Amino acid sequence: MTKLQITVDIVLFTILERQLHVLLIRRLAEPFRGSYALPGGFVLENESVDEAAHRELREETGVEKVFLEQLYTFGEPNRDPRGRVITVAYYALVANSHILRSGTDAADAAWFALNKLPPVAFDHQNIIEYAQQRLRNKLDYSNVGFELLPEKFTLTELQLVHEAILGANLDKRNFRRKILQQGIVEPSKEWQKTGRKPAQLYRFVD
């Protein structure tokens, strides 16, 4: 009897060039050596599953203190050729200002746009699609969009985040009205001066 094992896998999203991207890591070991896979690893004896997800994300990508939420548990008997491995999938969001640590674990990590994914190991393609769907749904009834932005942001940047997640264009005036009358942002005293015309920087309020 082979031992049953539990892993966590994390779908880490960010926005790059107005598109939703996912972090993948090239596998150095068999099986699926050389192909890309989600960051993740085994759950240790004395940590919760949530802690394992945070730890693996930190070890493999250097990313800490991010939004991280459990997604679904994938438990088909043959999803991993090494034996019986059940994985608890998570998804996480980082602003693109976060920088990936270049360490041994993260040696070959890279961001991929969702419509340009390479072939991925195991059932990770499924997991990624499931995460994307969850993120879209969640955008409707929560403030999850802010997790993909730095502390201060313009309303146009926020709109681009929503458009990237939904994969659709939104009307600028309707979007701004909706966000402002929800009262979930407040103007900071700063203006973004990098564009043609200065733009008001906002901050998320809880």
- Report the interface residues with DNA, using CB under 7 A: 154-156, 171-174, 176-178, 193, 195-200
Through-space distance between the first and last CA atoms of the chain, rounded to whole angstroms: 50
* Residue 102 contact, options its own copies, DNA, none, Cβ 5-8 Å cut-off depending on partner type: none
Residue showing tokens 């679904």: 72
Residue (50 or 59) nearer to its own copies, CB? 50
What is the smallest separation between the CB atom of 167 and DNA, expressed in angstroms?
15
Question: For binding to its own copies (CB under 8 A), which residues are involved?
Answer: 1-6, 43, 45-50, 52, 70, 72-73, 75-77, 84, 86, 88
For residue 119, the SS3 value is coil
Residue 71, token pair as written in the block: 């997604």
Separation between Cα atoms, residue 136 and residue 99, nearest integer Å = 24
Beta strand 85-93 with 5-16: parallel, antiparallel or unpaired?
Answer: parallel
Site of tokens 């939703």: 20
Q: Which is nearer to DNA, 84 or 176 (CB)?
A: 176
Find the shortest distance in angstroms from Cβ 65 to its own copies. Answer: 20
Task: Please identify, using beta-carbon distances, which residue of 50 and 163 lies nearer to its own copies.
Answer: 50
